[in-house]
Amino acid sequence: MRSLKGALSIAALLLAAGTAYAETPAPQTAKPEDVGLSSAQLKRLEAATKQNIDDGLMPGAVMLVARRGKVAWVSVQGKRTPDSDDAMKFDSIFRIYFMTKPIVSIVLMQLVEEGKLQVSDPIAKFLPEIDKMKVGTEVVVDGKPTLRLSDPEC
């Protein structure tokens, strides 16, 4: 249980750190094949992204693939916004909304892979407060609406 809370804490810190700016050393670079990647497949990814840009599905993209601590491939394509001619840049800033669920889902699935939790585990095993949760229903008593708390029916 401690490892689950630790992993969730790390996920929260990563989310918070993503909004902060910090100077980091330049990453090492490598050829894709040197880290077990295929240049041909990366070219296919680049071509598919270019097709999406040409079809108007997105104005541009910045893509980076790293493996084993080394940057193996970078591609910058398209424009910053659909209604401008500003070219996309490697250091363009993006707002990323609604990323909490995917990141937490990845962390949870990694914990499942490590055998630290099971998908079938009840949530109350990790968050005991949920086990004490009540359901509120409105009932009319003497002509007045009243809230009645009861155990949830599962």
Helices 100-113 and 2-17 cross at an angle (nearest 10°) of 150
* Mode of pairing for the β-strands spanning 144-150 and 135-141: antiparallel
pLDDT tens-digit map of 54-99: 999 999 999 999 988 899 999 999 999 888 889 999 998 887 778 8
Phi-psi region of 35 (alpha: psi -120 to 50; beta: other; left: phi over 0): alpha
pLDDT in the model for residue 19: 46
pTM for the full predicted model? 0.49
Band of residue 39 on the pLDDT scale cut at 50, 70, 90: very high
Residues 118 and 4: their CA atoms lie apart, in Å, by 11
